[in-house]
């Protein structure tokens, strides 16, 4: 039976990158608004939609690029294949027989 260990660093990195992405998006929108006032609305909408699409792509990419902290083996997907809201995001490394708890949870979209 796999041992469950805590990988708090992944959750922390995930939060830091998400916060930095949100700040970058806010900065891009603010720069667009103040640098190009005549064409503000269409440009802001393009930046906003483009940023949202990029953020969703990046979120999916990051969750699919987990590496075991012990052996550095790539683990392509979380343990729970069909998660429910608030299910934990764990990754299982068969080489180490460790299930890594990232301290992240699947969002409740309601």
| Residue-wise pLDDT tens digits, 60-106 | 777 778 899 999 999 988 888 888 888 888 999 999 999 999 888 87
Q: Give the chain's domain count.
A: 1
Residue 99 domain flag: yes
Evaluate if residue 1 carries a pLDDT over 60.
yes
Domain span including residue 10: 3-103
Residue 109 domain flag: no
Has this prediction a pTM greater than 0.85? no
Residue 78 domain flag: yes
Tokens of 78: 């979380």
Residue 36 domain flag: yes
DSSP secondary structure, 48-108, as one string: HHHHHHHHHHHHHHHHT-EE-TTT--EE-S-S-SSPPTT-EEEEEETTTTEEEEEEEE---
Residue 108 domain flag: no
Residue 40 domain flag: yes
Residue 85 domain flag: yes
């Amino acid at each position: 039976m796999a041992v469950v260990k805590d990988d708090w660093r992944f959750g922390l990195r995930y939060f830091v990158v998400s916060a930095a992405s949100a700040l970058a998006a806010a900065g891009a929108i603010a720069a667009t608004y103040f640098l190009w006032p005549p064409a503000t609305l269409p440009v802001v909408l393009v930046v906003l939609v483009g940023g949202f699409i990029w953020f969703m792509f990046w979120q999916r990419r990051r969750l699919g690029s987990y590496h075991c902290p012990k052996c550095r083996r790539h683990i392509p997907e979380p343990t729970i294949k069909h998660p429910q809201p608030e299910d934990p995001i764990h990754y299982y490394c068969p080489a180490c027989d460790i299930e890594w708890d990232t301290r992240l949870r699947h969002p409740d979209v309601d």
